[in-house]
């Protein structure tokens, strides 16, 4: 079946640094990818919808200058957390939608900001 | 590795009950979730159940867990057209950070 990978799976960084998270669809082309943020035992929060070749659409309350999204190809989207702070520590999950409109989730990236 | 499986489609008539099934492989699962996704929207947490529970009821929703068979189901009573959506089953282990999702079941409700 379709597989979506994320890299890295776990990252620890110092406050003020930037972190890039990659999301790849391994065996299908994804014109649309989604980025979610999850706090423990809580619902996923949709951060943005990323369409290949165009600017991402951010949800209300999500700072586009802080969470930079680049969907450079049909198989790769990246999320960069700029000037990360401890409150950005969370679990970030991407998903990719194929041509049949089926959504596949990545395994997630756990970000810890010290 | 861990895996969560669901059937991809379910079609029911308005007013009938819907039952969406899910199986998982991780025996250390602690929390099991049901999410709903409407077109163009993000995931909305419907309900979750701890692994030490067999059943949880919340208004029209009933969650049944068979831990021995690693089988989870979501029953929607008196299904309405507004219930048409994709329903995702998910599981996570102690700590709640890593969550594994199923591919989603698309529920069609016919008037």
| pLDDT (tens digit per residue) in A37-71 | 986 656 677 899 888 888 899 988 899 999 999 98
Which residues 75-94 of B have a C-beta within 8 angstroms of A? 86
Whether A46 and chain B come into contact, CB under 8 Å, resolves to yes
pLDDT band at A17 (very low <50, low <70, confident <90, very high): very high
Residue-level pLDDT at B45: 78
In 3D, which of B75, B16, B43, B30 has the Cα closest to residue A93? Answer: B43
pLDDT digits (tens, 9 = 90+) for B31-66: 888 999 887 666 777 888 888 889 999 999 999 999
Handedness of CA A104, A107, A110, B2 (dihedral sign): positive
Find, in chain A, the residue whose alpha carbon is nearest to that of B47.
A43
Q: Cα A105 to the chain's mean position, in Å? A: 10
Buried b / exposed e along B76-95 (16+ C-beta atoms within 10 A): beebeeebbbbbbbbbbbee
HSE-up of residue B105 (Cα within 13 Å, Cβ side): 25
Whether A105 and chain B come into contact, CB under 8 Å, resolves to yes
Residue-level pLDDT at A51: 85
Tokens of A89: 């520590």
Could you tell me whether strands A10-13 and A109-113 are parallel, antiparallel, or unpaired per DSSP bridges? parallel
Residue-level pLDDT at B28: 80
Percent of chain B with pLDDT over 70: 91
């Amino acid at each position: 079946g379709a597989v979506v990978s994320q890299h890295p799976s776990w990252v620890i960084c110092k406050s003020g640094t930037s972190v890039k998270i990659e999301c790849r669809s391994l065996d299908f082309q994804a014109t649309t990818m989604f980025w979610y943020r999850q706090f423990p035992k809580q619902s996923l929060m949709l951060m943005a919808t990323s369409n290949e070749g165009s600017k991402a659409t951010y949800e209300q309350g999500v700072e586009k200058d802080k969470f930079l999204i680049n969907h450079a190809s049909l198989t790769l989207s990246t999320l960069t957390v700029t000037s990360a702070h401890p409150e950005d520590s969370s679990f970030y999950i991407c998903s990719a939608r194929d041509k049949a409109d089926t959504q596949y989730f990545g395994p997630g990236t756990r970000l810890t900001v010290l | 590795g861990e895996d969560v499986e669901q059937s991809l489609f379910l079609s029911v008539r308005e007013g009938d009950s819907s039952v969406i099934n899910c199986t998982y492989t991780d025996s250390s699962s602690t929390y099991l979730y049901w999410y709903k996704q409407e077109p163009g929207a993000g995931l909305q947490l419907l309900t979750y159940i701890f692994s030490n529970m067999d059943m949880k009821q919340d208004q029209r929703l009933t969650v049944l867990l068979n831990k021995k068979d690693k089988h989870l189901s979501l029953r929607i009573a008196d299904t309405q057209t507004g219930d048409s959506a994709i329903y995702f089953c998910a599981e996570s282990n102690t700590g709640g950070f890593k969550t594994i999702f199923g591919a989603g079941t698309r529920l069609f409700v016919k008037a």
